[in-house]
Chains A and B, each alone.
Chain A
Amino acid sequence: KAGVTQTPRYLIKTRGQQVTLSCSPISGHRSVSWYQQTPGQGLQFLFEYFSETQRNKGNFPGRFSGRQFSNSRSEMNVSTLELGDSALYLCASTPGGTVYEQYFGPGTRLTVT
């Protein structure tokens, strides 16, 4: 099976712009979670989607949003980018339904200038 894929792998944006990141889970996986990784804050949970519904949400401002499509692919969007949004954004998938180990993609490195 193919692993979790994330596009793009690298992205440079300017403050105030918005960005959309994409994640394709492992085939058959219905749950997709997003995490932000920064040197200062470490790995922080953003949100989780299961069957197109947001099931869980972390403590991030409303500028961070996401969605999941019927084929389980997910996107996250960050509006009005700030310098502090520079981070590695990781997507992870699981079959869903109960607690499983999560399978992570390689991440999208976002740099805000």
Chain B
Amino acid sequence: AQSVTQLGSHVSVSEGALVLLRCNYSSSVPPYLFWYVQYPNQGLQLLLKYTTGATLVKGINGFEAEFKKSETSFHLTKPSAHMSDAAEYFCAVSQESSGDKLTFGTGTRLAVRP
């Protein structure tokens, strides 16, 4: 079985400040990890993914995440928040044995203050 926990359903940062969104996963086998972003009234857009190899993953819009097996974490960061980053962010996990089924966390809504 696999699961994802996102700590903090709402995060608020000032424009230009560091963004840190937390994600911890549970998986009995090596996981595949993803971060998606959802803007209002839209579908999900992939920010970045970890499958194998380098544990520091860079994505679009200046986001990156680090896979830490010992901590079962895959936190999302961005050095400097922009107003356009305000959205809902979802961490998701999958396994090779589960095909294309994604298990999502409950999401973190990011607000950016001017």
Contact = CB atoms under 8 A, between A and B. Distances in A.
Interface of A: 4, 31, 33, 35, 42-45, 48, 50, 55-56, 58, 90, 92, 94, 96, 98-107
Interface in B13-65: 32, 34, 36, 41-46, 49, 51
B100 A43 contact: no
- The contact size tier of chain B is 20 to 34
B101 A98 contact: no
Contacts of B42: 106-107
Contact of B44 (A45, A94, A104): A104
A58 B106 CA distance: 17
B1 to A, nearest CB: 12
Contacts of B43: 4, 90, 104-107
Contact of A48 (B41, B99, B106, B107): B99
Interface stretch (B66-74, B77-85, B90-98): B90-98
A55 B99 contact: yes
A35 B101 CA distance: 10
B104 interface: yes
B102 interface: yes
A101 B99 contact: no
B107 A42 contact: yes
Nearest to B106: A42
A100 B41 CA distance: 24
Contacts of A33: 100-102
Contacts of A103: 46
A87 B102 CA distance: 18
